[in-house]
Structure 1
Amino acid sequence: MQSRRVIMIVGNGSVPDGAGLAIDAAHLVIRFNDCRSVGRGGVKTDIVAVCNTGRPALSMLGGGRWKTSAAVRQAREIWSVRSGVKFAAMRRALAESHPDLDDFCDDYTIGFESFARATGRKHRVIATETHERLDRNLARFEPPPYVAPSSGLVVIADVLSSFASAGDDIVLAGFGHSGWEWHPFAAERRYVDALVAQGRLRRLPHSSSSDLPQGA
């Protein structure tokens, strides 16, 4: 009998000792942006989830280094994390509250779509409904004023609601829940901890070399 599918979501934070072997043994590995997790966090990369608005998107599409990196070359799919509709609707309010983020909502989705098409990969945009649902769920953890949830949290919410099948084992590694000041990281940590407590996902333990079923 075939074991259930292991979906590993690997953030760009630190990973525990031995994580590389466990991550590479998963059936499917999702990484983010420039895939800084590659190395100590293994090498297998099936999906690269990208921040498709603002300066990070412009940097990835403009320099050429991202497109030719080993992780991106290996990936079968590119996911654009941010809904263009959602972020376009945010532009006017952000112009007043955060004038320094004048390019935050600039949408480069078409660039990632064109890259995916030209290189024979699937391109997927995470739906506006996922963002709206996540904002409602985060509200239960009383976040301070924030601009947007992190890309990692959006992908976690999307995998749980729209991508994973019943019985899939969703495992997180490289999530330190810290970084840019306008992501609600403290609330995000509490949200993920609640999902772990509910058994909907789990974090990769520090002793991780042999606790995952082997996946192709």
Structure 2
Amino acid sequence: MMSGRTIMIVGNGEVPEGAAATIDTADVVIRFNDCRSVGTGGARTDIVAVCNTGRPALAMLGGGRWKNSAAVRQAREIWSVRSAEKFAGMRAALAETHPDLDDFCDDYTCGFESFTTATGRVHRVVPLAAHEQLDRDLSRFAPTPYVVPSSGMVVIADVLSGFASADDLVVLAGFGHVGWEWHPFAAERRYVDALAAEGRLRRLSPSSSDLSQGA
């Protein structure tokens, strides 16, 4: 019998049919940005991990739609997934290689800090060391040239590196490993498969509603 928590990390991709109830019974549910997973992916939201740089951050902080959404109102923590130090260091190189990403490194961390302070929530920033270790880990899986790992992969790595204890069960749902062309999705898929093979996490499937059984 498990003695630790079930930590459910729910991406914005397709969630297995009938998974909502299983997701909502987890001890911790982490969602991303505008929490598109709410609905077929359940409703419980304890942590919202956000892209705190560039256009996604500006869109979330502008107006009240994101701030007043049910998932964000429910969350007790907001995690900024992008280290300001790392992204500041990327700016000059990106100006040469990807001039269309001129606002990609614009940092809006202070906006999320202000929001959480005003609403009595916790704000944390995924540390630079987690990003750098993830880049090293992904290099084992022959990634094609990329700009940054996906926010989902950053959070998975961060959770496994310290947020989750040895007794916790980490479960993924809504991760199709497809999307923006400058994320290394093929390498991320292989890395997640390797982590699953090592027993460090599990993918939620329609047949895994009883998370206390099996691997």
* TM-score (normalised: structure 2): 0.97
**What displacement does 1:3 show?**
3.5
**What displacement does 1:201 show?**
0.3
**What displacement does 1:212 show?**
2.5
Q: Which amino acid aligns with 1:42?
A: G
Aligned residues between the structures: 212
Partner in structure 2 of residue 205 of structure 1: 205
Partner in structure 2 of residue 13 of structure 1: 13
Q: Alignment partner of 2:62: what SS? A: helix
1:180-201 deviation per Cα after TM superposition (whole angstroms, max 9, x unaligned): 0000000000000000000000
Does residue 1:116 correspond to 2:116, yes or no? Answer: yes
Q: Which amino acid aligns with 2:210?
A: D
- Tell me the percent identity: 78
Partner in structure 1 of residue 191 of structure 2: 191
**What displacement does 1:65 show?**
0.1
Unaligned runs of 5+ in 2: none
Partner in structure 2 of residue 87 of structure 1: 87
CA distance in 2, matches of 1:168, 1:126: 20
Q: Which amino acid aligns with 1:118?
A: A
Q: Alignment partner of 1:190: what SS? A: helix
CA distance in 2, matches of 1:142, 1:2: 35
**What displacement does 1:4 show?**
2.2
CA distance in 2, matches of 1:212, 1:75: 23
CA distance in 2, matches of 1:83, 1:166: 26
1:90-105 maps to which residues of 2 (within 5 A)?
Answer: 90-105=90-105
Q: Which amino acid aligns with 2:67?
A: K
CA distance in 2, matches of 1:162, 1:98: 33
Q: Alignment partner of 1:18: what SS? A: coil
Q: Superposition RMSD on alpha carbons, in Å?
A: 1.0
* TM-score (normalised: structure 1): 0.96
Partner in structure 2 of residue 65 of structure 1: 65
Does residue 1:132 correspond to 2:169, yes or no? Answer: no
Unaligned runs of 5+ in 1: none
Partner in structure 1 of residue 30 of structure 2: 30
CA distance in 2, matches of 1:78, 1:4: 23
Aligned partners of 2:3 and 2:168 also within 8 Å: no
Q: Which amino acid aligns with 1:11?
A: G
1:24-66 deviation per Cα after TM superposition (whole angstroms, max 9, x unaligned): 0000000000000000000000000000000000000012100
CA distance in 2, matches of 1:171, 1:157: 13
1:102-144 deviation per Cα after TM superposition (whole angstroms, max 9, x unaligned): 0000000000000000000000000000000000000000101
Aligned partners of 2:196 and 2:202 also within 8 Å: yes
Q: Which amino acid aligns with 1:211?
A: D
Aligned partners of 2:3 and 2:167 also within 8 Å: no
CA distance in 2, matches of 1:201, 1:207: 16
Q: Alignment partner of 1:140: what SS? A: helix
* Greater than 4 Å deviation, 4+ residue runs: none
**What displacement does 1:2 show?**
7.3
CA distance in 1, matches of 2:2, 2:153: 29
1:195-215 deviation per Cα after TM superposition (whole angstroms, max 9, x unaligned): 00000000001224x3125xx
